[in-house]
Structure 1
Amino acid sequence: MTTLRSDAMKKTPGRAAHRSLLYALGLTEEEMEKPFIGVINSFNEVVPGHIHLRSLNDAVKEGIRSAGGVPFEFPAIAVCDGIAMNHTGMKYSLMSRDLIADSCELMLTAHAFDAVVFIPSCDKVVPGMLMAAARMNIPSIFVSGGPMLPGQHNGNRIGLSNMFEAVGAHAAGKMDEEELTRMELSACPTCGSCSGMYTANTMNCLTEALGLSLPGSGTIPAVYADRRRLARRTG
């Protein structure tokens, strides 16, 4: 009989109290025999790359259940580097990476999970979760939120990098405020990580190269149905 890592908290008469707490979650006796899979969901309502992660999280859990596991969701924090930029908030972005790594390791160890699915998207979240995966050395897989689609302005595709250039052009007197406003309203038209090869998309592609995510995790746009199908297969 296969020994699971989670057996440390759910097997033998000495773990009766532990099982009572697990039953309080609504688990069945049949589920107690299955692998316990952590699902670390970095959803929040602050970061464009993370605001849609609830639907991907649900798809991941569906995949886990269909494969015979029991999913347990818990959160991770996420900072938007773009929103935090150019004010005091930027001093807090990098340190969030280590908080994410530490908190993921803490939860996965404290609750003896057998495996884990990480759901990151933006800049410091992906490396923070990769650090946690390396520390834990348990079966781990990633599915990201995916990149946002580019915007359109005067017939051209634009993204966040164009907005930084537009701010400079406005400061230099080469663009009026009306055009700047039109650009800012169209540069980021969907949810997802910023549409450029910045840290988020680069790190999500890196997880594919490392074999820690399925093909397409770093490139399928956030709003495509393929993204949800990928999340289900990941689970």
Structure 2
Amino acid sequence: MSKTNPPNRPHSSQVVDGMERAPSRAMLYAVGFQEADFAKPQIGIASTWSMVTPCNMHINQLADDAARGVDGHGGKAVVFGTITISDGISMGTEGMKYSLVSREVIADSIETVVGCQGFDGLVAIGGCDKNMPGCMIGIA
């Protein structure tokens, strides 16, 4: 594994390349990576799938489709989850106070995973007017 940052893997190469990164690769083998995957750009797929709201019940299917697309075009997809809420359900209750805050929590969770894992790219999939802005803020 190279010590330079390949142009198509500027971030993941820092996380998985070299002898000293063997423990990191071992953890990724445990979640299904194959040896060839370490030479591919790692693309994070942030999924807001949840049973909390009907707006997000289909997101897991979209995330799976995105992962197949990434994997089928030379990348290595890594799907991860974030929170979602439904202000449509909590409307008129104390829970409504969490509506706008949830955008920041979603953005922070996406930024945290991407920063920690060293993804080379990101697909973020939201399903309603609260988590879509959170996804966009997280991408920025």
8 Å CA contact 1:97–1:125 kept in 2: the answer is yes
C-alpha RMSD over aligned residues: 1.2
Q: CA deviation at 1:115?
A: 0.4
Q: Determine what percentage of the aligned residue pairs are the same residue.
A: 37
2:34 to 10, 23, 28: 28
If asked which structure has higher relative contact order (CA below 8 Å, sep 6+), I would say 2
Q: How many residues align?
A: 134
Over residues 176-204 of structure 1, what are the superposed CA-to-partner deviations in whole Å (9 max), with x where a residue is unaligned? xxxxxxxxxxxxxxxxxxxxxxxxxxxxx
Q: CA deviation at 1:78?
A: 1.0
Amino acid paired to 1:111: Q
Q: CA deviation at 1:128?
A: 1.1
Which structure 1 segments of 5+ residues have no match? Answer: 135-235
Over residues 23-75 of structure 1, what are the superposed CA-to-partner deviations in whole Å (9 max), with x where a residue is unaligned? 12221111110011101110111211101112111111111111111111111
Whether 2:45 is the aligned partner of 1:44: answer: no
8 Å CA contact 1:81–1:123 kept in 2: the answer is no
Deviating above 4 A after TM superposition, structure 1's stretches of 4 or more consecutive aligned residues are: none
Partner of 1:115: 121
Larger radius of gyration: 1
Partner of 1:72: 78
TM-score by length of 1: 0.55
Structure 2 residue matching 1:30: 3-state secondary structure? helix
Structure 1 residue matching 2:78: 3-state secondary structure? strand
Partner of 2:104: 98
Partner of 2:138: 132
1:17 to 19, 23, 26: 23
Q: CA deviation at 1:118?
A: 0.5
CA distance in 2, matches of 1:90, 1:25: 37
Structure 1 residue matching 2:54: 3-state secondary structure? coil
Amino acid paired to 1:109: G
Amino acid paired to 1:2: P
Structure 1 residue matching 2:70: 3-state secondary structure? helix
CA distance in 1, matches of 2:105, 2:47: 15
Q: CA deviation at 1:102?
A: 0.7
